[in-house]
């Protein structure tokens, strides 16, 4: 069985391939069934290694990505750099470049220069978004923001994403217009629209060409892992690759 993945639907330049894996096509079992690509979630290491091997081969990648240690912050790493991989965004340049992030409800974002020469992947949960990971990633790229294209991969949808006052306050304090991204529920809490919040952050950073969105990890248990739905579970990879 080959790796099942969703190809990004966006007008990317020639040579750019991007998308998100689903939970199908791997060798993990139980709560990790079957294409778990996360090495930090309790799965058997040899099974994760085989899943990652299949991911690289079946998605036509030049090599395995330099996996990040994601911490829900705003640090950005240039792929291949000697500094630690503790970051929530990665940037790469040149033929054969590949970057990826792992998610199971958080929003994955990929960026490409309109000429394909520079790419990035961003892990954007609510904490990272509030901390400024989108602005940090865009500012770290050599490409002007108005020449960047963004694709939003599968994430938890607004009807499934209940948050408290502190989450809403973290966004509204920096952007009053973010109020529109939160709907009150009958439990005195809020339903947060992660996609809309990310689009506002991208727009504020100067990125206008935004695609994707609308795939809910929580609601689609057949295709996606969801931490909020299942607790301990696997991780999907969202990647972007510039072919050699």
Question: Could you tell me the CATH number of the domain that includes residue 73?
Answer: 3.60.140.10
Locate 53 and state its tokens: 């091997």
Q: Which DSSP state fits 155?
A: B
**197 to each of 42, 107, 223, how far by Cα in Å?**
31, 10, 24
- pLDDT score of 85: 79
- pLDDT score of 97: 95
* Residue range 45-98, pLDDT digits in tens: 999 999 999 999 999 998 999 999 999 999 999 988 777 679 999 999 999 999
Picking from 147, 121, 119, 118, the residue whose alpha carbon sits closest to that of residue 205 is 147
Q: How many domains does the chain have?
A: 1
- pLDDT score of 84: 66
Domain that holds residue 151: 5-242
Contacts of 156 (CB under 8 A, 6+ apart): 105, 106, 194, 216, 217, 218, 226, 228
- pLDDT score of 1: 73
- pLDDT score of 75: 96
Picking from 21, 85, 88, 25, the residue whose alpha carbon sits closest to that of residue 240 is 21
- pLDDT score of 21: 98
Reduced to 3 states (helix: H, G, I; strand: E, B; else coil), residue 82 is coil
What span, in angstroms and rounded, lies between the C-alpha atoms of 49 and 26? Answer: 10
Q: Are 19 and 6 in contact (CB under 8 A)?
A: yes
What span, in angstroms and rounded, lies between the C-alpha atoms of 40 and 48? Answer: 10
pLDDT greater than 90 at residue 122? yes
Across the range 140-146, mean pLDDT stands at 98
pTM of the predicted structure, to 2 decimals? 0.97
Across the range 102-112, mean pLDDT stands at 98
What span, in angstroms and rounded, lies between the C-alpha atoms of 231 and 234? Answer: 10
* Residue range 153-203, pLDDT digits in tens: 999 999 999 999 999 999 999 999 999 999 999 999 999 999 999 999 999
């Amino acid at each position: 069985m080959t790796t099942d993945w969703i190809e990004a639907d966006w007008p990317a330049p020639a040579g750019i391939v991007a998308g998100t894996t689903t939970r199908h096509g791997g060798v993990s079992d139980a709560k990790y069934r079957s294409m778990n690509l996360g090495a930090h979630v309790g799965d058997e290491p040899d099974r994760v290694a085989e899943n990652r091997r299949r991911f690289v081969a079946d998605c036509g990648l030049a090599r395995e990505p330099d996996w990040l240690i994601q911490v829900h912050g705003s640090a950005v790493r240039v792929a291949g750099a000697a500094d630690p991989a503790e970051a929530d965004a990665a940037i790469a340049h040149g033929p054969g470049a590949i970057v990826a992030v792992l998610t199971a409800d958080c929003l994955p974002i990929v960026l490409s220069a309109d000429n394909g020469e520079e790419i990035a992947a961003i892990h954007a949960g609510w904490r990272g978004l509030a901390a400024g990971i989108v602005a940090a990633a865009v500012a770290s790229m050599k490409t002007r923001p108005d020449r960047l294209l963004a694709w939003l991969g599968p994430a938890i949808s607004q009807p499934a994403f209940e948050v408290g006052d502190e989450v809403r306050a973290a966004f509204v304090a920096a952007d009053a217009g973010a109020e529109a991204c939160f709907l009150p529920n009958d439990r005195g809490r809020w339903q947060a629209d992660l996609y809309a919040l990310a689009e506002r952050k991208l727009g504020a950073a100067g990125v206008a060409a935004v695609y994707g969105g609308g795939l809910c990890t929580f609601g689609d248990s057949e295709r996606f892992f969801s931490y909020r739905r299942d607790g301990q579970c696997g991780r999907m990879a969202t990647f972007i690759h510039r072919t050699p």
